[in-house]
Structures are given as C-alpha cells and as structure tokens.
Amino acid sequence: MNEASFNPTELTSPLAQLFEKAHQQGYLTYEEILAVMPASDQDLDQLDQLFGALLAAGIPYGDASDFGEESEKGHRS
C-alpha cells in the first residue's frame, strides 16, 4: 500500500469517528448518531448505551435545529 492512498479513517470504527466528530464540532445531532446505528429500532439497548456514553463524555446531542443547523431535508427541524 502506498502512503498516498492510506486513509486512517478506514481503520477507525464508526463509533470512534462519531466521537471524533463530536469533539471537533462540540455536539452531535440525532441524524449523525442514527447514521452509525441504522438498526437502532431493533437494538434499543445498544442505542441507550451510546447515549449514556455521550452523556458521560459531556457531549451534547439533539435536533439539528438545537445547534443552528438545517436538517438534511433542507429546512430547520
């Protein structure tokens, strides 16, 4: 593998990427969280653990509009 094609995020789990994003922007939206947990309706315990970990880490989360963002649908939620 040559160094030009190496992408460190390929070796990072989706949850680790989520926490990195949270540390960079200071918060997470529900859409960002659910994007890494596509079967969240089937695994509520895992989703509950994730929200607990976010709280323990002091990472705020909520609707995109809570943070002044527009939702992916193009309007404020």
Tokens of residue 44, six digits: 């509520």
Its pTM stands at: 0.70
Q: For the chain, what percentages of helix, strand and coil (3-state, to nearest 5) are there?
A: 55, 5, 40
- Determine the distance from the C-alpha atom of residue 43 to the mean position of all C-alpha atoms in its chain, rounded to a whole number: 16
What is the pLDDT, as a whole number, of residue 11?
A: 59
In a structure prediction context, what are the per-residue pLDDT tens digits for the chain, which is 77 residues long?
445 555 555 557 888 899 999 999 999 999 999 888 877 667 788 888 889 999 999 999 999 998 887 655 444 43
Q: Please say whether the beta carbons of 9 and 36 come within 8 A.
A: no
